[in-house]
Amino acid sequence: MKLLITGAFSVNDEQLVQIQKLGYEVTFVQNEREPLNIDCSQFEAVICNGLFLYNDIQKFTALRFIQVTSAGLDRLPMEYIQEHHITVKNAKGVYSIPMAEWCIGQLLAVFKCTHFFYENQKNKQWKKNRALRELNGNTACVVGFGSVGSETAKRLSAFGVKILAVDCTLPQYNSYDEYFNIHELDSALAQSDIVILTLPLNKETYHLFNNDKLSKMKNGSILVNMSRGKIVDEQALLSALHNRTLSLAILDVFEQEPLEKSNPLWNTENIIITPHNSFVSEKNQERLFQVISENLQMLW
60, 43 Cβ separation under 8 angstroms: yes
Residue 33, pLDDT score = 96
Q: What phi-psi label fits residue 15: left (phi over 0), alpha (psi between -120 and 50 degrees) or beta?
A: alpha
pLDDT digits (tens, 9 = 90+) for 83-98: 999 999 999 999 999 9
Give me the pLDDT at residue 176, please. 98
140 and 173 both lie in a single domain: yes
| CATH at 109 | 3.40.50.720
For residue 46, the enclosing domain spans 2-92+282-298
Q: For position 300, what pLDDT does the model report?
A: 73
pLDDT at 168: 96
Question: Rounded to whole angstroms, how far apart are CA atoms 248 and 268?
Answer: 10
Query: Which residues are tagged catalytic?
Result: 228, 257, 276
Is the overall model pTM greater than 0.85, yes or no? Answer: yes
Q: Are residues 155 and 173 in the same domain?
A: yes
pLDDT band at 181, cuts 50/70/90? Answer: very high
pLDDT digits (tens, 9 = 90+) for 219-256: 999 999 999 999 999 999 999 999 999 999 999 999 99
Are residues 84 and 109 both part of a single domain?
A: no
- Go through 259-286 and write b for each residue having 16 or more CB atoms within 10 A of its CB, e for each that does not: beeebebeeeeebbeeebebbebeebee
Question: What's the confidence (pLDDT) of residue 152?
Answer: 98
In this structure, the answer to whether residues 70 and 137 fall within a common structural domain is: no
- Between CA 164 and CA 91 the distance in angstroms is 25
Same domain, 179 and 254: yes
pLDDT of residue 14: 96
Is residue 229 located within the same domain as residue 110? yes
205 and 148 in a common domain: yes
Q: Angle at which helices 284-298 and 13-21 pack, to 10 degrees?
A: 10
**120 in the same domain as 32:** no
Residues 171 and 77 in one domain: no
Q: Pick from 225, 231, 187, 168: which is nearest to 205 by CA?
A: 231
Q: Verify that 206 and 131 share a domain, yes or no.
A: yes
Question: Could you tell me if 226 and 293 lie in one domain?
Answer: no
Do 257 and 290 fall into the same domain? no
What's the number of domains the chain is made of?
Answer: 2
Percentage above 90 pLDDT, the chain = 99
The b/e string for 71-84 (b: 16+ C-beta within 10 A; e otherwise) is bbbeebeeeebeee
Measure the CA dihedral 18/22/28/31, to 10°. -90
**pLDDT > 70 fraction of the chain, expressed in percent and rounded:** 100
